[in-house]
Amino acid sequence: MTLDPDAFRSVLGRFASGVTVVTTVDAKGRDEGMTVSAFCSVSLFPALVLICVDHGASMLEALGHAERFGVNILASDQEALSRRFAAEDSSHRFDGLGFTRGESGVVLLEDALAHLECRITSRHSAGDHTIFIGAVERADAGDARPLLYYRGGYAQLER
């Protein structure tokens, strides 16, 4: 039995997820970043997370050669940042943005709800995505509400 892709997408859309911007530095030393909702923890000890990146994503090549990536967990007022890093044109994503560099050199966006700096430990091709496992080397968290993605749109946590 073959599952209809539209039905599968509809079902998965009912799983609310946080929104992140993942950053890295490419082989030429340029900053790269993209919006990623396929992010989760893998292990507490050792501290591991994963991100899933579509094989058609512009950042896939950079991550394929990178040693590290950063995860910026977005706050509820950062929808515009999510949209900016999800856009097709990746040439000016960092222009005019406030950010710092983590100890690993990756971009950490100002006012994000939380940041993680990760060392890539493995890559796994799975269907139309590549899974990147990252060992978390640094982490910090703020105290805002998260930006959520649900049923094809952005939402905020009401609590």
pLDDT digits (tens, 9 = 90+) for 75-107: 999 999 999 999 988 778 999 999 999 999 999
Average pLDDT over residues 113-129: 97
Tell me what pLDDT residue 62 has. Answer: 96
Tell me what pLDDT residue 90 has. Answer: 75
Residue 148 burial (C-beta neighbours within 10 Å; 0-12, 13-18, 19+): middle
Identify which has the larger pLDDT, 6 or 72: 72
14-61 residue pLDDT tens: 888 999 999 999 999 999 999 999 999 999 999 999 999 999 999 999
**What average pLDDT is seen over the chain?**
94
Tell whether the model's pLDDT for residue 10 goes beyond 80: yes
Query: Do the beta carbons of residue 82 and residue 19 sit within 8 Å?
Result: yes
Tell me what pLDDT residue 159 has. Answer: 66
Q: Which CATH architecture has domain 5-11+18-153?
A: Roll (2.30)
- What the block records as the tokens of 24 is 């890295």
- 52 forms bridges with which residues in the sheet? 131
Tell me what pLDDT residue 51 has. Answer: 98
